[in-house]
Amino acid sequence: MAESAKVNSLEAIKSIRSALAVFIDEAGQSLRATSSEIEMTRNWFRDQLRYWKGEVEKGREEVEFTKTELHRKRVSRSIHDPPADAEYKLLVRQAQRKLDEAEDMVEVVKKWEQSLVYVISQYEGSAAPLADRLNGDLTSALFQLDRMLDALDKYINLAAPEGPSVASRMTSAPVGSDSPTSVAAAESEKAKADETKTEASSKIEETKTEAAAATDSATKPA
């Protein structure tokens, strides 16, 4: 239910309105920036998984090809010819090693991707209440402040009759009873979300870095 609040300064209300608008904008930007970072990291893991699955397919084809060539070499060799398939055996071993490395990397990427999913779920669970506040209570509070300021401006601009000053007659204006609570709750949720965002961003970057290091290590020649 709306209550009456004594209003002595329009500037104070305008200041609150301005601060709330800045808060909504900055908090929204922060959430959007983190969502963008999360999506880029997800795409990076998808690209890595796609790449290594492709390497597995190439590796299997290479293994089959080198084995076929080795078999062809052995079949075409005369019984009286000395063995000359050492080079082909080496090629088979090299192809098999590359295939094994690619298969290992598919599992490595899947493992780190699961770690990323866990970190993201923690962040989103913390950020969701703030997003709900931004899109609900706080936006509504901002609209109420705009209406209040508009009503007070019209009231001040009315022709003032003789008697008490306009300022002394500005004794009350409707204020949504939940606005201060909504703002305070949102600020608390933003603080928690910012803390979780920092931790999540750190873990996301750490997960990506470690996965990249594992990728680089696997691609180095033996």
Please give the mean pLDDT across all residues of the chain.
76
In the chain the first and final C-alpha atoms are separated, in Å, by 74
Residue range 154-171: mean pLDDT, rounded: 54
- The answer as to whether 163 is a domain residue is no
Residue 8 makes CB contacts below 8 A (sequence gap 6+) with 167, 170
Q: How much is the pLDDT for 152? A: 81
Residue 112 makes CB contacts below 8 A (sequence gap 6+) with 45, 207, 208, 210, 211, 214
- The domain in which residue 189 lies consists of 3-154+172-219
CB atoms within 10 A of CB 45: 19
Task: Give the confidence band of 183 by pLDDT, cuts at 50, 70, 90.
Answer: low
- CB distance 152 to 5 below 8 Å: no
- The answer as to whether 26 is a domain residue is yes
- The answer as to whether 39 is a domain residue is yes
Residues facing residue 174 across a β-bridge: 4
Q: Could you read off the pLDDT of 20-76 as tens digits, one per residue? A: 888 888 888 889 998 999 999 999 999 999 999 999 999 999 999 989 888 887 777
Q: How many domains does the chain have?
A: 1
- The answer as to whether 165 is a domain residue is no
Q: What are the distances in angstroms from CA 170 to CA 22, 49, 82, 144? A: 27, 66, 110, 18
Q: Could you read off the pLDDT of 118-140 as tens digits, one per residue? A: 888 888 888 888 888 888 888 88
172 phi, psi to nearest 5 deg: -155, 155
